[in-house]
Amino acid sequence: MAQVLDLPALRLDPCDRDDEDLERLFAFLRSFRVLADVRDSAIRSICRFARYEYHEAEEVLFGCGEEISCWYILLSGSTFINGMMYLPGHW
């Protein structure tokens, strides 16, 4: 899987990405097992809106029962969901 540091397109503001950036993001997202059954058109749509975020250790992104407006792909580190630990690429 490509490293985020090798993918500057992900760090660009989505409105600043060109077609080449979108193709690189598409290939990157296509490499995730968790997205293997997702249609290409949906992955391409994600590429137009995805943005990179960095969060500090122990930061709470959302709590149980909260309505959310986005979802995350964990690239490094670990996360706890309902008391279980998840690592990148281990879905």
pLDDT along the chain (91 residues), means of 10: 64 94 93 91 94 86 85 81 74 49
Provide the pLDDT for residue 21.
Answer: 95
- State whether residue 80 is helix, strand or coil: strand
Residue 78: inside a domain, yes or no?
Answer: yes
Residues 35, 38, 39: CA angle, nearest 5 degrees: 140
Q: How far is residue 42's CA from residue 62's CA, in Å, rounded to a whole number? A: 24
Residue 10: inside a domain, yes or no?
Answer: yes
- What is the DSSP secondary structure assignment for residue 12, as one 8-state letter? S
Of 75, 78, 1, residue with least CA distance to 36: 1
Full-model pTM? 0.73
Provide the pLDDT for residue 6.
Answer: 62
Residue 28: inside a domain, yes or no?
Answer: yes
Provide the pLDDT for residue 22.
Answer: 95
Residue 91: inside a domain, yes or no?
Answer: no
Provide the pLDDT for residue 1.
Answer: 43
Task: Provide the domain limits for residue 22.
Answer: 4-86
**Count of domains for the chain:** 1
In this structure, what token pair is assigned to residue 27?
Answer: 């290939």
In this structure, what token pair is assigned to residue 20?
Answer: 């080449």
